[in-house]
Structure 1
């Protein structure tokens, strides 16, 4: 597990994504054209997610072959799945309940499926890797999520997730996003998640480093940071 330390890491990550020609967020000019109604289509990604997108792309580049099947869950407006296409991955799928999924880019190259990612129609052991950028903290259900991720992953495959995080517990009672309860994971929440994952044959990769002193993220009246974690299917 890694933790976003400060805003500078976000800026540096975006510059690296641009340098590698993997950045998929729109330019400020395109944003202006969108507001004027001249430019349409889905607004992909978010500058604030630069760090975890780059961490995920780098991990996959080092551990997953370009022809291996990869699934992105909660893929609507997700930058990661389009960046993976740019990176040269050729066997990509995305899962999301949003009915506008058909408006996502690269329809001919990426297999988009309108489905609940905790109950998908994909076959057992269908994927070498599953990505999830700022998704699991919304309507979090550890058992349903881990059961499906374990079912979908091939042995030796990876579940890679980023999520809202702060070492101490932050109360988000009554705050909802996308009509779902919102969880800012605490150190204890992550520890329990890791322990629960082992019951489904998913083991955390690397060290557990949950400490953070800076709060580079502000949303919903709360200040926190991002966590990033990788599980391997045993």
Structure 2
């Protein structure tokens, strides 16, 4: 399979490849030198990033656990919450798909450092299969995969669904490939009063920041497919602690976790 054209052009692709290589080299060394890593402190399974203090606390926890930080520091908050939900709900023997993954993003490297070995990332940008420290990255559409029913204990999907992903097909496919008793964790851009994004695009898609009504609809659609929200849905936030320099937008993140009934 041919390599898909990278968003941002060749220079950005090279920079991402450098970051990826450095990240996985560090993971390999840390995993071989370290013993069993303590589990992350419990975090709400479903939550809104309400202020800068919350992502700063997540960064401090990552440093305590010796996890390589994502360079976009607020993203450590949603990744850490997803990893905490997987580990504290399902344990270290879990099989996990990171849907819409990037090889330089945090969830799969961190799970590998916690000892998980059945880890897969898929993305329409990927070409031939690539392995990094035993983690498989392969081409795939997160709304229509070729995995068998119940293949995974957990699916994570970090900051992907806002980029034009059809929500109901994604949730239906996630429910199909997660075993009963497993979990889905999704994060996305969110604001209780979203800024106007008319005419703003990124990665070839209109920029979308989810509103409270969007999130309620997301949860209702998930329920239709046997995915039951873990925790409480409280949608208010005091600050907009996320700034996307490329678009000039200020907003926040939301993280949603679901049990597969």
TM-score (norm 2): 0.76
* Alpha-carbon separation, structure 2, partners of 1:157 and 1:120: 18
- CA RMSD of superposed structures (Å): 1.8
Of the structure 1 ranges 193-202 and 94-103, higher mean CA displacement relative to structure 2 is found in 94-103
Spell out the pairing of 1:25-104 with structure 2 (5 A cutoff): 25=70, 46-76=72-102, 77-99=104-126
1:127 pairs with one of 147, 152, 156: 152
Q: Residue 153 of structure 2 contacts residue 183 of structure 2 at CA under 8 Å; is this kept in 1?
A: yes
* Alpha-carbon separation, structure 1, partners of 2:202 and 2:256: 22
Instruction: Write out per-residue CA displacement over residues 35-59 of structure 1, whole angstroms, 9 at most, x where no aligned residue.
Output: xxxxxxxxxx632201111111211
Shift, 1:102, TM fit: 5.7
Instruction: Write out per-residue CA displacement over residues 30-82 of structure 1, whole angstroms, 9 at most, x where no aligned residue.
Output: xxxxxxxxxxxxxxx63220111111121122111212211001111311111
Instruction: Give the aligned partner of residue 142 of structure 1.
Output: 167
Aligned-partner SS, 2:74 = helix
Spell out the pairing of 1:124-203 with structure 2 (5 A cutoff): 124-203=149-228
Long gaps (5+) in structure 2: 1-45
**Does 2:252 correspond to 1:225?**
yes
Aligned-partner SS, 1:209 = coil
Q: Residue 92 of structure 1 contacts residue 110 of structure 1 at CA under 8 Å; is this kept in 2?
A: yes
Q: Residue 70 of structure 1 contacts residue 91 of structure 1 at CA under 8 Å; is this kept in 2?
A: yes
* Alpha-carbon separation, structure 2, partners of 1:181 and 1:145: 18
Aligned-partner SS, 2:187 = strand
Q: Residue 164 of structure 1 contacts residue 185 of structure 1 at CA under 8 Å; is this kept in 2?
A: yes
* Alpha-carbon separation, structure 2, partners of 1:204 and 1:179: 31
Instruction: Give the aligned partner of residue 41 of structure 1.
Output: none
Shift, 1:23, TM fit: 2.2
* Alpha-carbon separation, structure 1, partners of 2:109 and 2:194: 34
* Alpha-carbon separation, structure 2, partners of 1:138 and 1:71: 19
Instruction: Flag the 1:112–1:99 CA change in 2: closer, same or farther, 3 A.
Output: closer
Instruction: Give the aligned partner of residue 36 of structure 1.
Output: none
Moved over 4 A (4+): 100-103
Long gaps (5+) in structure 1: 26-44
Q: Residue 96 of structure 1 contacts residue 116 of structure 1 at CA under 8 Å; is this kept in 2?
A: yes
Instruction: Flag the 1:153–1:100 CA change in 2: closer, same or farther, 3 A.
Output: same
Aligned-partner SS, 1:231 = strand
Instruction: Write out per-residue CA displacement over residues 178-216 of structure 1, whole angstroms, 9 at most, x where no aligned residue.
Output: 112322111111001111111111111111111112111
Shift, 1:5, TM fit: 1.5
Instruction: Flag the 1:24–1:168 CA change in 2: closer, same or farther, 3 A.
Output: closer
Shift, 1:173, TM fit: 2.7
